[in-house]
Structure 1
Amino acid sequence: MKIAVYGATGMVGSQIVAEAAKRGHEITAVSRSGRDVPGATTVSIAELGDSAAYRALAGANDVVVFSIPPSRTGESHQSFIDAHEEISETLVPARVFVVGGAGATEVDGVRLVNTPGFPEDYKAEALTMGEVLDFYTSASGLDWTMLAPAPVIAPGEPTGTIVLGNDSPAGERVSTGDFAVAALDEIEEPRHQHRRFTVASA
C-alpha cells in the first residue's frame, strides 16, 4: 500500500512511518523541511495548506495521513482550520486518515475541553481540533477516519495491547508506538470509516 504521511518528522508521524515501514508499505514522508525519516521510501516538501500538493499526493497514494497538530506557540490557528476545511471538502481518490486530539473526545456527550478543570494551556488546541472534527463529520463523499489518542500521549514503544473506543477516551494514556499500531491496523483493515475513534494503551 502507498501511504503519504504529513507531519512525518513529528513525534506521532515518525512512529506511524516506522510502523508502516515495518509492515512493508511504501511511505512518502511529507514535511515542510523535506528531512529524511527512517522507514520512508521517499520524501516530499509540502505545507498543510498547499492544495495542489495535497491533490498530487492523494492521487499518487492509497492513503494520506495528517499527523500535524495546530500551532502551540500562541499564534492563530485559522490557517490550520482553513486547510482542514478545504481538505474535508476536496474529493480525492485516496483515503484520508487524521490524527485527532484528546480534548475533542467526549464523556457523556460533553467534549473534554468543555469539562471543569480542563487545562487552560490546551484549550485552544482542543477547540481547534473539535472544529476540524466537525468539518469531517459534515463531509460528503470523502473516505475519512480520525483517530484520537488518550488524554496523555507520550513517546514509547508498542506494548502489544491496545484498547479502542468510539467518541470517549479509551483509557488514560497511550504510547506513540501503540497509537501507530492502531493507526496502521485501521489503514490496513478499515473499521471506522467516516467517523472518529479512540485508542489507549492497555
Structure 2
Amino acid sequence: MKIAVYGATGMIGSPIAAEAAKRGHEVTSVSRSGSLVQGTTSSATAEFGDMHAYRALARANDVVVFSVPPPRTGDSHQGFLDAHEEISETLVPARVFVVGGAGATEADGVRLSEIPGFPKENLAEARTMGKVLDFYTSASGLDWTMLAPAPVITLGEPTGSIALGNDSPAGQKVTTGDFAVAVLDELEVPEHPHRRFTVASA
C-alpha cells in the first residue's frame, strides 16, 4: 500500500509513518520541511491546506493520513478549519485518514469539551477538532476515517494490547506506539469506514 503521512515528523505522525514502513508499505513523509523520516520511502514538501499538493499526493497514494494539529500558538484556527472543510468536500481516489482529538469524543452523548471542568487550555483545540469531525461526517462520497486517542496520549512503544471504542474514549491513556498500531490495523483491514473511532492502551 502507498501511504502519504502529513505531519510525519510530529509526535503522532512519526510513529504512524514508522509503523507503516515496518509493515512493508511505501510511505511518503509529508511536511513543511520536506524531511525524510527514517524508514520511509520518500518525502514531499507541502503546507497543510495546499490543495494542489494534496490532490497530487492523493492521486499517487492509496491513503493520505493527516496528523496535523491546529495552531497551538494562540493564532486563529480558521485556516486549519478551512483546509479540512475543503478536503472533506474534495473527492479523491485515495482514502483519507484523520488523526482526531480526544476532546471531541463523547461521554453519554456529550462531547468532552462541553462537560464542566474540561481544561480551559485545551478547549479551543477540542472545539476545533469537533468542527473538523462535523465536516467529515457531512461529507458525501469521500472515503474517510478518523481515529481519536484516549484523553492522555504519551510517547511510548506499542504495548501489544489496545482497546477500541466508538465515539467514547476506549480508556484513559494510549501510547503513540499503540495509536500507530491502531491506525495501520484499520488501514490494512478497514472496519470503520466513514466514521470516527477511538483507541486506548489496554
Specify if TM > 0.5. Answer: yes
The offset of 1:40, in angstroms, is 1.0
| Partner amino acid, structure 2, of 1:197 | F
Specify the alignment match of 1:195 in structure 2.
Answer: 195
| Partner amino acid, structure 2, of 1:3 | I
Specify the alignment match of 2:122 in structure 1.
Answer: 122
1:157 corresponds to 2:157: yes
Residues of 2 paired with 1:134 and 1:128: CA distance? 10
Instruction: After superposition, give the CA deviation of every residue in 1:76-116 in whole Å (9 maximum; x if it has no partner).
Output: 00000000000000000000000000000000000000001
Structure 2 spans left out of the alignment, 5+ residues: none
The offset of 1:155, in angstroms, is 0.4
Specify the alignment match of 1:144 in structure 2.
Answer: 144
Residues of 2 paired with 1:2 and 1:151: CA distance? 30
Instruction: Look up the SS of the partner of 1:54 in the other structure.
Output: helix
Instruction: Look up the SS of the partner of 2:15 in the other structure.
Output: helix
Instruction: Look up the SS of the partner of 2:13 in the other structure.
Output: helix
Specify the alignment match of 1:78 in structure 2.
Answer: 78
Instruction: After superposition, give the CA deviation of every residue in 1:111-138 in whole Å (9 maximum; x if it has no partner).
Output: 0000011000000000000000000000
The offset of 1:36, in angstroms, is 1.9
Identity, in percent, stands at 78
Specify the alignment match of 1:61 in structure 2.
Answer: 61
Q: TM-score normalised to the size of structure 1?
A: 1.00
Structure 1 spans left out of the alignment, 5+ residues: none
1:105 corresponds to 2:111: no
The offset of 1:66, in angstroms, is 0.1
Instruction: Look up the SS of the partner of 1:178 in the other structure.
Output: helix
1:4 corresponds to 2:4: yes
Listed as ranges, the matches of 1:11-50 within 5 Å are: 11-50=11-50
| Partner amino acid, structure 2, of 1:156 | G
Instruction: After superposition, give the CA deviation of every residue in 1:156-178 in whole Å (9 maximum; x if it has no partner).
Output: 00000000000000000000000
Runs of 4+ in 1 over 3 A off after TM superposition: none
Q: TM-score normalised to the size of structure 2?
A: 1.00
